[in-house]
């Protein structure tokens, strides 16, 4: 793996890069959509819905959790996931601001 040199970039640039990296995999997009449509789903439900293996799902869930997009709830021995709406809105704002500012700069 390469060294990213994140310190060379400002907070906003690093934020956009982190969010879009998480969203940059189609399996994660499918998982986020599934979780948004099925409240309190667990890893097994995601395995069934995507056809991916349980270890792969767990790795993707870990990546999605890095940006705080998921809430976890323990029921018995299982973890259940829902979307953290506050973080969803914050992530959307960060990425939208990037595109809006870029568009404004292009129109100058």
DSSP SS3 for 87: helix
Task: Please count the structural domains in the chain.
Answer: 1
Would residue 4 count as lying in a domain? no
Would residue 88 count as lying in a domain? yes
Torsion of CA 94, 92, 35, 37, to 10 degrees: 180
Would residue 108 count as lying in a domain? no
Domain that holds residue 35: 12-100
For the entire predicted model, the pTM comes to 0.88
Going residue by residue through the chain, which has 108 residues, state the pLDDT in tens, using 9 for 90 and above: 456 688 899 999 999 999 999 999 999 999 999 999 998 899 999 999 999 999 999 999 999 999 999 999 999 999 999 999 999 999 999 999 999 999 999 987
Q: The domain spanning residue 55 has which CATH number?
A: 1.10.10.10
The Cα-based distances of 93 to 62, 72, 76, 84 in angstroms read 22, 23, 35, 14
Would residue 76 count as lying in a domain? yes
Would residue 3 count as lying in a domain? no
């Amino acid at each position: 793996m390469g060294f990213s040199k994140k310190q060379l970039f400002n907070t906003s640039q690093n934020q956009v890069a982190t969010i879009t990296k998480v969203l940059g995999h189609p399996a994660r997009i499918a998982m986020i959509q599934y979780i948004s449509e099925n409240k309190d789903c667990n890893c097994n439900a995601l395995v069934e819905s995507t056809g991916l293996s349980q270890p792969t799902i767990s790795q993707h869930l870990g990546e999605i959790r890095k940006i705080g997009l998921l809430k976890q709830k323990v029921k018995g021995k299982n973890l259940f996931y829902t979307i953290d709406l506050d973080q969803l809105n914050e992530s959307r704002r960060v990425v939208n601001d990037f595109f809006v500012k870029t568009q404004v700069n292009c129109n100058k």
